[in-house]
Amino acid sequence: MLKQYIVDAFTDRIFHGNPAAVCVLEQWLPDDLMIQIAAENNLSETAFTVKEGARNRLRWFTPSTEIDLCGHATLATAYVLLNYYEQNVPQIVFDTLSGDLTVQRHSDLYEMNFPAYELHEVPVTNEMEEALGIRPMEAWMGRDLLCVLPSEDDVQAFVPDAEKALHLPGLILHTTAQGKDADYVLRSYAPKLGIAEDPVCGSGNCHTAPFWAKRLDKEGLTAYQCSARGGTLYCSVQGDRVRIAGKAALYAIAELQIAIHGLSFGEAYASRRY
């Protein structure tokens, strides 16, 4: 039996925040099968985790590929493990492609310790303006492209042309502005990963939180991802690390009907033929 959880991250209500699928495995599946599962789920990310000794290995897949960092699916996985598998521990340490990631539980908040991306300013181009429909005030590069818009209303109103955004630099495109009620707002678009818009992007705040911490001269920040689903993140920048906290809500628990080489999932585990 392969159990899968659907968790809405960065919210305390289902149908809000960012939904992630979480598969808790006894041992790893073939990579192509994990990509197939992620494609079938058709969510921004599906997380797979395996207990390896005292540690938990964690991997993230979009519907088309494996990625090196995902915030909301990390929070969702920690929520599942801390509530259903390891209820008596205060934190989880994940071994990932981005190094060790720690998630601590503080009441109903789950706080992740992530690397901050080093940003460097790049010229604003006509291609950025054409893709966004508005000319950014500034542009910055880390892993992703960060475009600073004049106002929160602009971040909400201007949705990029996905085809034109494919040709912009960076893995993901984030638009951001200073917020009215939150310190800053953002939206995240990932057409290169087969994701039109990521409803709440934890790793995006590894770009925006360091930017706004410096710009606003604040260590602790409240961020609001103003997608249709919406989500709130509580960020604290400490040197080259960003602590990102949020809530989570369980939407569903399912049993995946997976067959490997003609065997059921349970039979395949028993025979180890895959």
Rounded to two decimals, the pTM is 0.84
What CATH number does domain 2-105+249-256 carry, 3.10.310.10, 3.40.50.300, 2.40.50.140, 3.20.20.110? 3.10.310.10
Q: Report the pLDDT value the prediction gives residue 265, as an integer from 0 to 100.
A: 52
Six-digit token pair at 124? 């604003």
The catalytic residues are 45
* Torsion angles phi and psi, residue 119, rounded to 5: -105, 145
pLDDT, position 183: 98
Q: Which pLDDT score is estimated for 53?
A: 86
Domain 120-246 in this protein, CATH class: alpha beta
**pLDDT for 118:** 93
pLDDT of residue 274: 40
Going by C-alpha positions, the residue among 193, 161, 168, 186 that lies closest to residue 45 is 193
pLDDT at res. 87 = 86
> What pLDDT score was predicted for residue 266?
52
pLDDT value at position 271? 43
Q: Where, residue-wise, is CATH 3.10.310.10 in the chain?
A: 2-105+249-256, 120-246
pLDDT along the chain (274 residues), means of 10: 93 95 95 95 95 92 91 96 91 93 93 93 98 98 97 97 96 97 97 90 94 95 96 95 96 88 49 42
pLDDT value, residue 193: 86
